[in-house]
A and B are shown apart, each in its own frame.
Chain A
Amino acid sequence: MGKENEFYTRLENKGVTRRDFMKFCTLLTATMGLSSSFIPKVAEVFAAPKQRPSVVWLHFGECTGCSEAMIRTMYPWTDELVLDILSVDYHEIIMAAAGQQAEEVLQSTIKKNAGEFICVVEGAIATANNGIYGKVGNRTFLEIAKDVCPKAKAVICQGTCSCFGGVQAAKPNPGGYKSVSEVLGIKTLNIPGCPPNPLNLIGTIVNYILLGKLPELDNLGRPLFAYGKTIHDQCPRRSHFENDEFVLEFGSQEAIMGFCLYKLGCRGPETYNNCPTAKFNGGTSWPIQAGHPCIGCSQPGFWDEMSPFYKEM
């Protein structure tokens, strides 16, 4: 109890109210599919560590959309994540150091925290011509991945590119881009999406700290709490599908009435994700709510397999 009080005092010093904090823990517990009895335990995750878990976030062949999505988190806010909860020791976009100074930080972090840090990877890895298509600081993505990933306690792939190759690996793929697990031959925890919902990464990390293990995964390495059901099975427009009520053209009366988007090419039936329940940007919306068919962005090979996007499956 003493520890808990101390924790809340610490939080309040940081400008976080106990109420806000519990709200976040409740939301996160629900997203992770845990019962409400876990809420105090989730809270404990953030109370316990005096030493914040070290995170190394690598950028390979990507558009930075996954990082952008991550900093849109509202439960908790990004400043809480980077100042109070985690120690984000290397992240090219948000770290203040640049160039040589940044690379020094990477090397010292993976040495000091070997076997302890969480490695998050954003982007696919170029393999053609020994990886010459993609470099950071004149080192290929391939070299960096081989150097850093094996030293991590866990490798989490954030976004479809690091999970499955993404747009980089779409045909004709001149750079020979591949997913992290294909390149390194290791099992990665995959949080696909273009971009993924930040809640799914936060839920995974909390699960990891809370239970001391990674969440249960499907055969593609995706946490079941987020990727256990299809979009179609959770879709609020599902009854229209059952009733044969379809949108045949954008902007039509059927679109205004929110009918099913299946005939405009919706990939909801074969896409596993929690978009309909978690929604994006603090629960504001998600693609089907905005009247656009699901394009299957969290499935392997979606650029090749799911397109042309507007053609019925």
Chain B
Amino acid sequence: MRAVENAVGVKIPENARLIRNLLHGAQFQHDHIIHFYHLHAFDWVDILSALKADPAKTAALSDNVTNAPWGGTAYFKTVLQRIQTFVDSGQLGIFANAYWGHSAYKLPPEANLMAAAHYIEALRLQAKAAKMHAIFGGKNPHLQSLVVGGITSVQDLNPDRLAQFLYLWKETQDFVNNVYIPDLLAVASFYKDWGAIGGTSNFMAWGEFPQNENEPDSLYMPRGYIQKRDVAKIQAADQQKVAEHVKFGWYAEGKPKHPFEGETKPNPGDYKPDGGKYTWFKAPRYDGEACEVGPLARVLIAYGKNHKDIKPLVDSTLKKLDIPVTALFSTLGRTAARGLETAAIGNAMEGWIMQLFDNVKKGDLTTYQSWKMPKSAQGVGLNDVPRGSLGHWIRIENEKIKNYQYVVPSTWNLGPRCEKGIPGPLEEALIGTPVADAKRPLEILRTVHSFDPCIACGVHVIDPASNAVYKIRAI
């Protein structure tokens, strides 16, 4: 949409920008909560150990570390009973055959029970948070109110709907500030060694949340590029320096290409990890370098630019955990950055809601700017979505799409080696990961999941003793 708006030269009205920011802010809140509690938590939390917890001690722990609106001995007793009933049924469902009891799990039973309770609470909270999307987008997922030129949900731009949105935002953000962040700190304090595992070198963000029509200057999460971990020197990020390599992807051979010239010509083959093609991913590179994108990249770039909200959040977190700034370049740093940006972006949403209230009060209901399709044009749309930098490139000829390419977060993070054989960020991050039991490589999952991959991908672990290759699928 932004690519087409760029190509046809339309500027969207302020109300449309604010509603898009709110929808996207809600997406960050929602996505990151689901990731932490439902896609990543069981890499750190042993739910079977929770059965050994003392509900009274769990209640005390919960009072001590969170400001959760629920708790108390009776509450944790009920949760414990529910898990026990579930386990006793003999049908372990979604919890069957995981790595429970693994030596890499470090939380005491009470912390595991607290986390299990919050897993359930977060499942309900995320369904409520998604209502924010339905208010201005018709439904979640796959919102349907976004069009070139603005948004369509003009009838919902009224005080009732705004109040409903505000209420849901508050409930969600209270959860972030009172439960998610405290849980993150509590869990992290048991896994500080993961501040030295799973790091990468280069970072890039297109940035997101324009505060006025000037991009990238007004972006709340800024645009930038960090080379070789030099956070003191944030470089400008320029889309012209992007190229995609296909040497190790199942595509027709070709030189690295900028997305405007990009081609997608499938050339399927067998899986050949040793020098041959092995993936459907292309390998995106920025100025020839593999770049990590996503929460850690955004937070590091904001930190390096002395962001008014992010800088103090990061500094206070490092202080609370008593870890150095270099610990950010890690699996722990990545997972922490995701939580911290959720807090910052969520807090910023309040201002956007209030601006909308003001506009409605003034009688401004403008949500759409009309536009004309030119005979031919080209456009770029850059932004950052929860998993990282997203770019769309469109070329229009005779009022039709001539070429359309997009470069998405998971190809930046999990893509294969480039033409020169340099590994992508995930591969770099996994090198040197200590694995206690190669048949149950929980530690690998931690780093893979910390990138919040949007695809099913193949990872190989080699047992140095037997040289046996174990295949792990990360979801």
Q: A100, B471: Cβ atoms under 8 Å? A: yes
Most chain B beta-carbon neighbours within 10 Å: one of A133, A258, A280: A280
Alpha-carbon gap, A68 to B139, bound state (A): 12
A188 to B269, CA, bound (A): 31
Across the interface, which residues of A come within 8 angstroms of B237, CB to CB? none
A13 vs B86: C-alpha distance in the bound complex, in angstroms? 11
Q: Does B296 contact A (CB under 8 A)?
A: no
* Other-chain residue from A14, A84, A136 in contact with B473 (beta carbon distance below 8 A): A136
The answer to whether B99 has its CB under 8 Å from any CB of chain A is yes
A51 and B79 alpha carbons, distance in the complex (Å)? 21
A282 touches B131 (CB 8 A): yes
Q: Does A34 contact B (CB under 8 A)?
A: no
Given A65-B141, A251-B154, A255-B155, are A96 and B94 neighbors across the interface (CB < 8 Å)? yes
Interface band, chain A:
35 or more
Which of B13, B143, B144, B268 contacts A129, CB < 8 Å?
B268
Chain A 34-77, CB-CB to B under 8 Å as 1, else 0, gives 00000000000000001110100001000001001101111001
Is residue B325 within 8 Å, beta carbon to beta carbon, of the partner chain?
A: no
Number of interface residues of B (CB under 8 A): 71
Structural contact, A291 and B141, CB atoms closer than 8 A: no
Is A295 touching B98 in the complex (CB atoms < 8 A)? Answer: no
Residues of A within 8 A of B304 (CB): none
Query: Cβ of B445 and Cβ of A280 under 8 Å apart?
Result: no
Among B57-65, B120-128, B253-261, B414-422, the stretch that binds chain A is: B120-128
Question: What distance in Å separates the Cβ of B20 from its nearest Cβ neighbour in chain A?
Answer: 13
**Interface 9-mer from B217-225, B338-346, B350-358, B362-370:** B362-370
Stretch of B145-153, B174-182, B188-196, B199-207 lying at the A interface: B145-153
Return chain B residues, CB-CB under 8 Å to A13. 78, 81-82, 85
Please report which residues of chain B, range 235-273, place their CB below 8 angstroms from some CB of chain A when the two chains form the complex.
266, 268-271
CA distance A256 to B368 in the complex (A): 11
Complex alpha-carbon distance, A249 and B93, angstroms = 50
- A129, B250: Cα distance in complex, Å: 13
Q: Does B390 contact A (CB under 8 A)?
A: no
Instruction: Collect the chain B residues with CB atoms within 8 Å of residue A284's CB.
Output: 131, 134-135, 139
Contact B82 A250 (CB under 8 A): no
CB pair A286–B142 under 8 Å, yes or no, is no
Let me know if A79 and B123 touch, CB within 8 A. Answer: yes
Alpha-carbon gap, A38 to B474, bound state (A): 43
Q: How close is A176's CB to chain B, nearest CB, in angstroms?
A: 11
- Whether B368 contacts A282 by the Cβ 8 Å rule is no
A136-B456, A255-B155 known; A98-B141 Cβ under 8 A: no
Q: Is A1 an interface residue (CB 8 A)?
A: no
Query: Known contacts A96-B42, A97-B97; is A287 also within 8 Å of B470 by CB?
Result: no
Give the chain B neighbours of A287 by CB distance below 8 A.
138-139, 144-145
B249 shortest CB reach to chain A, Å = 13
Per a CB cutoff under 8 Å, which of B149, B155, B472 touches A258?
Answer: B155
The contact string, 1 if C-beta is below 8 Å from chain A, for chain B 79-99, is 101100110010101111111
Given B93, B130, B471, which contacts A82 in the complex, CB threshold below 8 Å?
B93
Q: A133-B266, A137-B471, A255-B155 are in contact. Are A281 and B133 (CB under 8 A)?
A: yes
Q: Once the chains are docked, how many angstroms separate the CA of A72 from the CA of B47?
A: 23
Q: Looking across the interface, which residue of chain A has its beta carbon closest to that of B441?
A: A99
In the assembled complex, the Cα of A71 lies from the Cα of B149 at a distance in Å of 32
A250 x B368 contact (CB < 8 A): yes
Nearest Cβ on chain A to B273's Cβ, whole angstroms: 11
B458 at the interface (CB under 8 A from A): yes
Chain A residues within an 8 Å CB radius of B437: none
A85-93, A145-153, A207-215, A224-232 - interface stretch: A85-93
Q: Which of A13, A15, A249, A291 has the most C-beta atoms of chain B within 10 angstroms of its own C-beta?
A: A291
| Residue among B79, B137, B156, B370 having the largest count of chain A Cβ atoms under 10 Å | B137
User: Closest CB of chain A to B46's CB: distance in Å?
Assistant: 10
Q: Contacts A129-B268, A287-B139 given: A251-B366 contact, CB under 8 Å?
A: yes
What residues of B have a CB within 8 angstroms of the CB of A71 in the complex?
Answer: 123, 126-127
Q: Within 8 Å of chain A (Cβ to Cβ): is B136? A: yes
- What is the bound-complex CA distance between A33 and B143, given in angstroms? 27
Q: How far is the CB of B68 from chain A (nearest CB, A)?
A: 15
B52 is an interface residue with CB less than 8 A from chain A: no
- Is A120 in contact with chain B by the CB < 8 A criterion? no
Between-chain CB contacts (< 8 Å), 30 pairs: A13-B81, A14-B82, A68-B140, A69-B140, A71-B126, A71-B127, A72-B126, A74-B127, A88-B93, A96-B42, A96-B94, A96-B96, A99-B473, A132-B268, A136-B456, A138-B471, A174-B266, A250-B147, A250-B154, A250-B368, A252-B368, A281-B130, A284-B139, A287-B138, A287-B144, A287-B145, A290-B138, A290-B155, A291-B145, A291-B156
Query: B residues engaging A (CB < 8 A)?
Result: 13, 38-39, 42, 47, 78-79, 81-82, 85-86, 89, 91, 93-99, 120, 123-124, 126-128, 130-131, 133-145, 147, 149-150, 152-156, 266, 268-271, 365-370, 440, 445, 456, 458-459, 470-475
10 smallest CB-CB distances across A and B, nearest first, come from: A251-B368, A290-B138, A280-B139, A99-B472, A284-B134, A291-B152, A96-B98, A281-B134, A287-B138, A287-B144
Known A84-B86, A284-B139; 19 more pairs at CB < 8 Å: A13-B78, A15-B82, A54-B91, A59-B456, A68-B140, A68-B141, A72-B140, A77-B124, A78-B123, A83-B93, A88-B93, A99-B470, A174-B266, A249-B370, A251-B154, A252-B368, A285-B134, A289-B155, A292-B152
